[in-house]
A and B are shown apart, each in its own frame.
Chain A
């Protein structure tokens, strides 16, 4: 291993790091101590008083409590809001703070493995908000992680790839997951649709209303109450479903001794796995897969963060009229920004073909080009830029690029936003 391949689960309360081990050919968690729970690194940053020295995790808490520095927490939320924090009279933007946090986070595996270079980092996030991702990209840029080395994935994607990396005996039928954290209780569901080539992995996340504060687990009464809540939840979510395996994760499931009834219910004819670093491992699997010339996963993953429809158009390529794919179903929306140039040959509208992967029922979105400057036929070049604000929200921008110096570009832009299923 001469370059690090990392999966980082970045949440507001805790972060986790998984490092891809070329020996095990699987991710291994970064542990701060000897027990598994030590993989949870509090997402806090502390600037040491009077020094340009930044600390993260439990050490940051400790030093801040001792009054040796100033601590900032909720870093993901701060980045989402594009906020700032003033420390020792200096205002630090959320991007700068996140940059310091990521730098210190990367320093942990760098020190442990003695490897400085990073090949790929995949961040697992609860929500893929475009503004948050742009700021996170800027923060990564600040610490020398270029755009081609980073990937952003939803927890649902991380869950899907984690499960897909397990032996197939564990997921002949549906696989579910529960993520219990201070931020809430999330339910995940994954099923493989095997009748098609390529196979489809369809996954979804559902934030559950049954969430509770983890502090209630500190008393026996609270434990019993939490067990009852989760048992009801298991009844509701798992009834009439053929579930092969259940995965439990999040700091709430560091131990399951407090939830005997819930465990009994979910263990009924199912395999149950508990543990941390599920999302960071899933992210790490994807990070490793990104470094391969060809993906090791012969699936199209349809879930939060991934496009459920493909977007294409017809154009003449090498003299033949062909369907040109602009965005593939199953690709990560944040990475699906695409740009292509076309020349208009007696064309007055741009017809985009939307094909949902599940139904193949084609829909056409037509965008009028009548606003473009009038020119002789075949002398208008347009740049079609397709970008996404989420897996459903598509933005198409058509830019008039003229025809070289023969017909100079007006750079006029036609924009259309639409939703896809």
Chain B
């Protein structure tokens, strides 16, 4: 059986802005939810004056003092995040226990892996340019993890995916080609072929002709066709298909409205 949770404070007048998601947080509950579900997006700069101002507004002065003391004593980010969730009392003991486990898992990974995970989290939320910034930072850093061919290749593939989502196919192709040169990942030729198709060329990119057989190419074509078919019944395709039942002129109006919403969402996602 569930519970109601009493909201104690009024929404903050100066909300806490989360640039990674392009949203504002207005209450302790929202802050808790953000921390719990977006751990990958939070970095060492999180406990700053903006956060303290927000905590004061939601009547969490004691928590602010506690975090300040913890910072002076050199406490780590994860320790601070745990204390915030504990004090805001939005999550139950069982949920806090699972969060603790998540933090422990995260601490095991290196800094570069965490940064890559942050980029991936931004990508999955549609923040392609923010994700690109993270990948570029990683590639230009002198971290030893990044110098490994496999890891660098994975970053380049992710970077390519970002470019593909913003329809910069030539740049996406360059990223995949670099990634392929690094570790000859066998899954990449198919991705490169799809990019070529997106650029209007139903053929393999130069350099792959000798590597990919005719049969394999046919397989790529068939896979792409299947994905296209499936796309009609998923995500945005499904949203558009749902409007087919409408009569004209309502249908055209609905399509335009949908298109406007998609554009708006896209713009919002890319402005941060």
Select the stretch in A50-58, A122-130, A213-221, A401-409 that faces chain B. Answer: A401-409
B268 to chain A, nearest CB (A): 11
The complex places the Cα of A72 from the Cα of B106 at a distance, in Å, of 79
Contact with B along A102-124 (1 / 0, CB 8 A): 00000000000000000000000
Q: Which of A298-322 contact B (CB under 8 A)?
A: 313-319, 321
Is B211's CB within 8 Å of the partner chain A? Answer: no
The complex places the Cα of A314 from the Cα of B1 at a distance, in Å, of 12
Is A194's CB within 8 Å of the partner chain B? Answer: no
Select the stretch in B25-33, B40-48, B223-231, B234-242 that faces chain A. Answer: B25-33
In the complex, the answer to whether B2 meets A348 with C-beta atoms within 8 Å is yes
In the complex, the answer to whether B5 meets A403 with C-beta atoms within 8 Å is no
Given A318-B89, A319-B89, A378-B90, A404 contacting B30 (CB threshold 8 A): yes
Is A100's CB within 8 Å of the partner chain B? Answer: no
- Residue from A340, A345, A406 in contact with B2 in the complex, judged by beta carbons closer than 8 Å: A345
Give the number of chain B interface residues (Cβ < 8 Å). 21
Residues of A within 8 A of B11 (CB): 404
In the complex, the answer to whether B5 meets A345 with C-beta atoms within 8 Å is yes
In the complex, the answer to whether A343 meets B30 with C-beta atoms within 8 Å is no
Is B3's CB within 8 Å of the partner chain A? Answer: yes
In the complex, the chain A residue whose C-beta lies closest to that of B86 is A319
Q: Which of A335-362 contact B (CB under 8 A)?
A: 340-348, 350
In the complex, the answer to whether B90 meets A404 with C-beta atoms within 8 Å is no
- Residue from B1, B4, B8, B25 in contact with A404 in the complex, judged by beta carbons closer than 8 Å: B25
Is A381's CB within 8 Å of the partner chain B? Answer: yes
Is B34's CB within 8 Å of the partner chain A? Answer: yes
- Residue from B4, B6, B24 in contact with A405 in the complex, judged by beta carbons closer than 8 Å: B24
Given A405-B23, A405-B24, A406-B34, A340 contacting B29 (CB threshold 8 A): no
Is B108's CB within 8 Å of the partner chain A? Answer: no
A402 to chain B, nearest CB (A): 10
Residues of B within 8 A of A404 (CB): 11, 15, 23-27, 30
The complex places the Cα of A345 from the Cα of B2 at a distance, in Å, of 5
The complex places the Cα of A319 from the Cα of B6 at a distance, in Å, of 10
Is A379's CB within 8 Å of the partner chain B? Answer: yes
In the complex, the answer to whether A314 meets B27 with C-beta atoms within 8 Å is no
In the complex, the answer to whether A314 meets B3 with C-beta atoms within 8 Å is yes
Residues of A within 8 A of B89 (CB): 318-319
Q: Which of A195-224 contact B (CB under 8 A)?
A: none
Residues of B within 8 A of A346 (CB): 1-3
The complex places the Cα of A406 from the Cα of B25 at a distance, in Å, of 8
Given A378-B90, A404-B26, A405-B23, A316 contacting B3 (CB threshold 8 A): yes
A67 to chain B, nearest CB (A): 58
Is A237's CB within 8 Å of the partner chain B? Answer: no
- Residue from A313, A319, A406 in contact with B4 in the complex, judged by beta carbons closer than 8 Å: A313
The complex places the Cα of A314 from the Cα of B5 at a distance, in Å, of 9
Closest 8 CB pairs of A and B: A346-B2, A315-B4, A405-B23, A341-B7, A347-B2, A342-B4, A343-B5, A404-B30
**A345-B3, A378-B5, A381-B7 known; 19 other A-B pairs, CB under 8 Å?**
A315-B4, A315-B5, A316-B5, A317-B6, A319-B89, A321-B3, A324-B6, A342-B7, A343-B29, A378-B33, A379-B33, A403-B30, A404-B15, A404-B23, A404-B26, A404-B27, A404-B30, A405-B26, A406-B25
Q: List 11 A-B contacts (CB under 8 A).
A: A313-B4, A314-B4, A316-B4, A316-B6, A318-B89, A341-B6, A343-B90, A346-B2, A404-B23, A405-B26, A406-B30
- Residues of A whose CB lies within 8 Å of any CB of B are 313-319, 321, 324, 340-348, 350, 378-379, 381, 403-406
